[in-house]
Amino acid sequence: MSSMMKIERIQARILDIPTIRPHKFSFGAISRQSPVIVQLWLRNGATGFGEAATIGGPSWNEESPESILHAIESYLGPALAGQDASRFEALLQRMDAVCKGNHFAKGAVEMAAVDAVSRTLGVPAWSLLGGKVRESMPLAWTLASGDSAKDIEEAEAMLAARRHRVFKLKIGARAAADDIAHVGRIARALAGRASLTVDINQAWDGNTARRHLPALVASGVTLIEQPVARWNVEALRALTAALPTDALLMADETVCSPQDALQLAQQRACHVFSLKVAKHGGLVRTRAVAAIAEAADIGWYGGTMLETSLGSAASAHVFATLAGRDHGCELFGPQLLVDDIVSTPMTLRDFELHFPDGPGFGVDVVPERLDRFDRARQGLQAV
Ligand code: MUC
Ligand code: MG
């Protein structure tokens, strides 16, 4: 590839965008998202954008907006200046050489490189990632107000608007018996009209999970996400083996690297992987984790870190290319934020998210919106 594709420079900034309501997790509540937006310029004049979103600063895992910004500005950006942006794997290797871990940061930089290269070629990003095999996916919505009546009202509005009929409930912050009662109330209200999943975000120990998962399944929950700590593969294995056949167990925080995926596959420690571009360290590595899922007869789910329309569209481009058995997606981050940073978001129609074509990720970042939410300009503090 000619010098056309050489990287000129890379810039990153933190945005602070409020959410439409507080979003409660087992580990706390958020009322804003702070994505790091990367812009990469090629010597040919083309530019591409990437994003890394965390949840609650470093509450979800080790990386925070501030650590991502630092890794990009101090190490990843300088290491990639002058490199050929179209050699995605080589970029990843170069980033690994100067910086261990920091997968979210690397994922955002790789995303910007893929966007810039596909825009230079005038093609959709999916065409550089294996080619698409699907145009849309069912889109889940997370009910996380913490209040059963409010959650039911929100779900009713989503059903009436034909936006969502798969609802993920965030539990684990309260006593398990209270959570089971909360899930039961929502399940009874929506019975026969929606499917329910739960995400416990590592809150339970193995015994608590063993005791309460049957009640969740009995109330109609069909997918149970990360009930126990990230490290607790043995509990995941035992819970997966014991789960009634009408529900599936999904790993999220436990499945980041291809090695994590292989370990879960070898131990038959889950039925489904939640795939997320950020935790896998980019689009290319998301495909590596998905390949292990397919080879091991493990399903996949299109996960989110509540990205804006930019990171969500980039995720949609790689999800569009994946083989294997899918269980829908949850790229609803843009709907949870008060405003968007792109001119035209992805289409949501008849309970499905329709994946955009290109060039790039098929969404156009509006520079003034980046300026409006820029933390440095707003003078806000870290979460
Ligand atoms: C997670 O752990 O899955 C995804 C949807 C949502 O509400 O939270 C995220 C994080
Ligand atoms: Mg999760």
Ligand lying nearest the CA atom of residue 225 = 2
Ligand lying nearest the CA atom of residue 333 = 1
Whether the per-residue pLDDT at 355 is higher than 90: the answer is: yes
Known catalytic residue: 63? no
State residue 244's pLDDT score: 92
Side-chain half-sphere of 48: how many Cα atoms within 13 Å? 35
Q: Find the 122 Cα to ligand 2 centroid distance in Å.
A: 35
Pair 30, 168 in one domain: no
Question: Are 368 and 340 spatial neighbours (Cβ–Cβ below 8 Å)?
Answer: no
CATH code (residue 22):
3.30.390.10
Whether the per-residue pLDDT at 378 is higher than 90: the answer is: no
Q: Find the 143 Cα to ligand 1 centroid distance in Å.
A: 10
Pair 266, 143 in one domain: yes
Pair 83, 163 in one domain: no
Pair 232, 373 in one domain: no
Question: In this structure, which amino acid lies at residue 270?
Answer: C
CATH code (residue 268):
3.20.20.120
Per-residue pLDDT band for 358 (boundaries 50, 70, 90) equals confident
State residue 99's pLDDT score: 98
Ligand lying nearest the CA atom of residue 306 = 1
Q: Where are the beta strands (DSSP E) in 57-190?
A: 136-138, 141-143, 166-170
Pair 327, 306 in one domain: yes
- Quick one: tokens of 218? 């009995």
Instruction: Tell whether 319 is covered by a domain.
Output: yes
Q: Which atom of ligand 1 is nearest to the CA of 304?
A: 4
Q: Hey, whose CA ends up nearest to atom 10 of ligand 1?
A: 305
Pair 228, 247 in one domain: yes
Q: Which of 348, 74, 117 is nearest to 331 (CA)?
A: 348
Q: Hey, whose CA ends up nearest to atom 4 of ligand 1?
A: 304
Report the distance separating Cα 58 and Cα 325, nearest Å. 31
pLDDT tens for residues 241-256?
Answer: 999 999 999 999 999 9
107 DSSP assignment: H
Instruction: Tell whether 361 is covered by a domain.
Output: no
Question: In this structure, which amino acid lies at residue 287?
Answer: R
Pocket test for ligand 1, best of 199, 228, 252, 274 (most atoms within 8 A of CB): 199
Instruction: Tell whether 275 is covered by a domain.
Output: yes
Whether the per-residue pLDDT at 203 is higher than 80: the answer is: yes
Pair 225, 303 in one domain: yes
Which listed residue (24, 106, 168, 170) is catalytic?
Answer: 170
Q: Which atom of ligand 1 is nearest to the CA of 170?
A: 7
Full domain range(s) for residue 183: 128-354
Q: Hey, whose CA ends up nearest to atom 2 of ligand 1?
A: 201
Instruction: Tell whether 152 is covered by a domain.
Output: yes
Q: How many folded domains does the chain comprise?
A: 2
Pair 176, 263 in one domain: yes
Instruction: Tell whether 360 is covered by a domain.
Output: no
Pocket test for ligand 1, best of 270, 306, 315 (most atoms within 8 A of CB): 306
Whether ipTM > 0.95 holds is yes
Which listed residue (63, 110, 307, 330) is catalytic?
Answer: 330
Report the distance separating Cα 221 and Cα 95, nearest Å. 41
Instruction: Tell whether 133 is covered by a domain.
Output: yes
Q: Find the 333 Cα to ligand 1 centroid distance in Å.
A: 9
Exposure letters 239-258 (e unless 16+ CB within 10 A, then b):
bbeebeeebbbbbbbbbbbb
Per-residue pLDDT band for 138 (boundaries 50, 70, 90) equals very high
Instruction: Tell whether 359 is covered by a domain.
Output: no
Q: Find the 253 Cα to ligand 2 centroid distance in Å.
A: 7
Element (H, E) at 273: strand 272-275
Pocket test for ligand 1, best of 21, 27, 33, 142 (most atoms within 8 A of CB): 142
Pair 162, 206 in one domain: yes
Report the distance separating Cα 198 and Cα 166, nearest Å. 11
State residue 2's pLDDT score: 57
User: Burial of 175 by CB count in 10 Å (0-12 exposed, 13-18 middle, 19+ buried)?
Assistant: exposed
Pair 252, 132 in one domain: yes
- ∠ CA(243), CA(249), CA(255), 5° rounding? 145
Q: Find the 44 Cα to ligand 1 centroid distance in Å.
A: 38
Per-residue pLDDT band for 381 (boundaries 50, 70, 90) equals confident
Known catalytic residue: 330? yes
Q: Find the 342 Cα to ligand 2 centroid distance in Å.
A: 25
Pair 260, 294 in one domain: yes
- Express as a percent the part of the chain with pLDDT over 90: 96
- Express as a percent the part of the chain with pLDDT over 70: 99
State residue 1's pLDDT score: 52
Q: Hey, whose CA ends up nearest to atom 9 of ligand 1?
A: 305
Q: Would you call 247 helix, strand, or coil by DSSP?
A: coil
Report the distance separating Cα 340 and Cα 369, nearest Å. 8
Pair 53, 151 in one domain: no
Instruction: Tell whether 283 is covered by a domain.
Output: yes
pLDDT tens for residues 269-310?
Answer: 999 999 999 999 999 999 999 999 999 999 999 999 999 999
Whether the per-residue pLDDT at 379 is higher than 80: the answer is: no
CB-defined site of ligand 1, < 6 Å: 55, 142, 144, 170, 199, 201, 252, 303-304, 306, 330
